[in-house]
Structure 1
Amino acid sequence: MILFTKLFLAHLIGDFLLQPGRWVIHKEANKIKSKYLYVHVLVHFLISMVLLWDLDYLLPVAIITFSHYLIDLAKLYATPYFKLKSVPFFIDQVLHLIVIYMVVYYQNLSPHTAMLFSKIDWGLVTAIVFVSFPSSIIMGKLLEAMSDKIELDHKSLPNAGKYIGIIERLFVLMFIIMGRWEAIGLLIGAKSVFRFNDLKESNNRKLTEYILIGTLLSFGLAIISGIVYQAF
């Protein structure tokens, strides 16, 4: 585990701490001809070797470094085909982690992977999934009759309310599992403070009631999910 941790740390340092924005821009513009692509890969290699400080790991680090070069190069050419640059970015990061994992545990890859899957708390996974998009859809159905009577705020970010709700429910679920019920009250208070100015300026009783009902529903679904998870 310590080997994977050190290589993962090297990846974080090389990809995020020691990669200036101008390197990224230069790589996107010049792709395989960019000198910073090769400097970036070399930095990864050096950081990994320094953290491991053992020449016995030279071959594994070389394999990871070469795969890093190939993955980054593929991302540079694939990114223009994606509408959102975040998609190839996350695919890139996942592939890097998979390579590190496979190199570290190549001797017992299947047994170790099976062991990891056996330790997954599927009840927790189900609770997390439920409080995300399924809960958003359920709330949308429950509030459908009311939402038609509320004037839309065209200045809002697209789907901002949905993602705020998902994040707050995840926090509530986490607080319940940790047994920190008081933190839920703090979260409600913080949300009230942020919403106060909007409601004050709009002076819209229907909007106030709609937001209040939506907030209570959101927190209620998360609390029920946390209680059910702990019960079973």
Structure 2
Amino acid sequence: MILFVKLLLAHLLGDFIWQPNSWVKDKEANKHKSVYLYLHILLHGVLAAVLIGDIGFIRYAILIAVTHGIIDLIKLNFQKPKTKRTWFVVDQIAHLLILIGIALFYHRNSIIPLLPCNDCWILITGFLLVTKPASIFIKTIISIWSPESQNSHQDNSLANAGNYIGILERLFVVCFILTGHFEAIGFLLAAKSIFRFGDLKEAKDRKLTEYVMIGTLISFGISILTGLAIQALLLQLP
């Protein structure tokens, strides 16, 4: 289980945290001719090898890098503007299935323990998951809806404020679950609703209200599921 957690952490770092938007745009424009595609592939292989820390895992790290590149190339060549959301989900599922398969076939312990405790790996991966990866997932899912009044109400907002607020609220929710304060999640949701009420009332746009509600509920859902998953994994540790 810890092996998969480490591989998942490597995937999150390589696919979301350490992949700039400029890389993504260049890959979509140039596909197999993009140098950033191959840097991206190399990054995934290196991250997997380093985080596992076993010389015997290098061949599996190479396998992860190669399969990651193949999956990305398939997505880049077949996705269209209208199907980007579908291919994003298919792409991530395919990557996760590869990682699960490798974790099931590889049973050695890491020779180089980068962290002294297994629960550290679970906590780091869980908290990282609800930051930028969750933001990208939510943005991709709700991009099918784009209320007209949304852009007109963003001019007076701080740059990327909504993104950072979402990340902070998800981190808070995970912390509340891990500390057993489930009631605090309700207070957090109520507080956000109060602050949002003024904007939504002023907008007088039902589509915008529904758009915000969907995004908020998906965000809280991801963080709650992540918090519960971290709890379950920690309880399984010896």
TM-score (norm 2): 0.50
Structure 1 residues 63 and 182, CA, compared in 2 at 3 Å: closer, same or farther? closer
| SS of residue paired to 1:83 | helix
**What is the CA–CA distance in structure 2 between the aligned matches of 1:34 and 1:201, rounded to whole Å?**
42
Question: For 2:197, which of 190, 195, 198 is the aligned residue?
Answer: 195
Contact conserved, 2:41 with 2:65, CA < 8 A, in 1?
A: yes
Structure 1 residues 101 and 186, CA, compared in 2 at 3 Å: closer, same or farther? closer
The 5 Å alignment of 1:128-207 reads: 155=149, 180-181=182-183, 183-185=185-187, 187-196=189-198, 198-199=200-201
Cα deviation, 1:38-93, whole Å, max 9, x if unaligned, reads 1111111111111122111122222211110110000101112x504222112111
**What is the CA–CA distance in structure 1 between the aligned matches of 2:182 and 2:5, rounded to whole Å?**
30
**What is the CA–CA distance in structure 2 between the aligned matches of 1:201 and 1:8, rounded to whole Å?**
40
1:93 partner amino acid: Q
**What is the CA–CA distance in structure 1 between the aligned matches of 2:3 and 2:104, rounded to whole Å?**
10
**What is the CA–CA distance in structure 2 between the aligned matches of 1:35 and 1:200, rounded to whole Å?**
47
| SS of residue paired to 1:47 | helix
Q: CA RMSD in A?
A: 3.4
**What is the CA–CA distance in structure 2 between the aligned matches of 1:19 and 1:201, rounded to whole Å?**
35
Structure 1 residues 179 and 93, CA, compared in 2 at 3 Å: closer, same or farther? same
Structure 1 residues 196 and 10, CA, compared in 2 at 3 Å: closer, same or farther? closer
**What is the CA–CA distance in structure 2 between the aligned matches of 1:52 and 1:14, rounded to whole Å?**
15
Q: List gaps (5 residues or longer) in structure 2.
A: 108-146, 152-172, 214-238
The higher-RCO structure (CA 8 Å, 6+ apart) is 2
TM-score (norm 1): 0.51
2:100 corresponds in structure 1 to 101
Task: Give the superposition deviation at 1:201.
Answer: 8.4
Answering whether residue 27 of structure 2 is matched by residue 23 of structure 1, we say: no
Q: Which of structures 1 and 2 has the bigger CA Rg?
A: 1
Contact conserved, 2:44 with 2:64, CA < 8 A, in 1?
A: no
Q: Give % identity.
A: 34
Q: How many residue pairs are counted as aligned between the two chains?
A: 143
Contact conserved, 2:72 with 2:91, CA < 8 A, in 1?
A: yes
The 5 Å alignment of 1:206-225 reads: none
Structure 1 residues 184 and 64, CA, compared in 2 at 3 Å: closer, same or farther? same
2:84 partner amino acid: K
| SS of residue paired to 1:85 | helix
**What is the CA–CA distance in structure 2 between the aligned matches of 1:23 and 1:58, rounded to whole Å?**
25
Structure 1 residues 195 and 96, CA, compared in 2 at 3 Å: closer, same or farther? same
Cα deviation, 1:96-146, whole Å, max 9, x if unaligned, reads 0110001111379xxxxxxxxxxxxxxxxxxxxxxxxxxxxxxxxxxxxxx
2:102 partner amino acid: V
**What is the CA–CA distance in structure 2 between the aligned matches of 1:107 and 1:59, rounded to whole Å?**
11
1:91 corresponds in structure 2 to 90
**What is the CA–CA distance in structure 1 between the aligned matches of 2:25 and 2:188, rounded to whole Å?**
41
Q: List gaps (5 residues or longer) in structure 1.
A: 109-152, 158-170, 216-232
2:56 corresponds in structure 1 to 56
